[in-house]
Amino acid sequence: MLLYCPALIISLSLAVAEASDKLSCYVCGTEHSSATLETCEYFTGSPRWKPYEVICPENSVCAKIVPAYKGNVSRSCAPNETSTGKKIQLGCYVTGTTEEDKATYCYCNKNQCNTAHCLDSDFVNFLFVIASLCLANWYLEGR
């Protein structure tokens, strides 16, 4: 019987929600005091992204900037307000008027959301833990 699995899922969900009050973003191709940075080319090809993770200061969002013409992608923590006090709008925006100065700016507020891939690593890890614990529970009940 898998009677304990729903309770386990609820408990882990609450633990994950409580542990995620500090925003974690990927940082590469830019200056940041707590990361050894390389260009984002190495980030994209890296099998492990953990060295690129940093805990952002309070009131931050994750940012990814993609130049349209001859430039390096950068990922970073960014203030969630502009210098004039206006809140940063989440999503992606293209700026610039010519091909040489166009860039796409993307802002998001979930852990490691400024990745190159669409699956959130926290969510995938969470699902793996839940599946493993339910499988272990099923195995132990069968003995």
Give the C-alpha separation, 1 to 115, whole Å: 39
**SS3 annotation, 18-84:** HHCCCCEEECECCCCCCCCCCCHHHHHHCCCCHHHEEECCCCEEEEEEEECCCCCCEEEEEECECCC
**Range of the structural domain that residue 59 is part of:** 4-141
- Max CA distance (Å), the chain: 68
> HSE on the CB side for 95, CA within 13 Å?
7
Q: Looking at per-residue confidence, does 62 or 49 come out higher?
A: 62
Give the C-alpha separation, 10 to 12, whole Å: 6
Q: Which of 27-31, 52-56, 138-142 is the most confident on average? A: 52-56
Position 125 scores a pLDDT of 64
Instruction: Note if the pTM is more than 0.85.
Output: no
- Tokens encoding 65: 């900037």
CATH number of the domain enclosing 34: 2.10.60.10
Q: How many domains does the chain have?
A: 1
Tens of pLDDT, residues 97-120: 887 888 999 999 999 899 865 444
> Can you count the helices (H) and strands (E) in the chain?
3, 6
Provide the 8-state DSSP code for 87. B
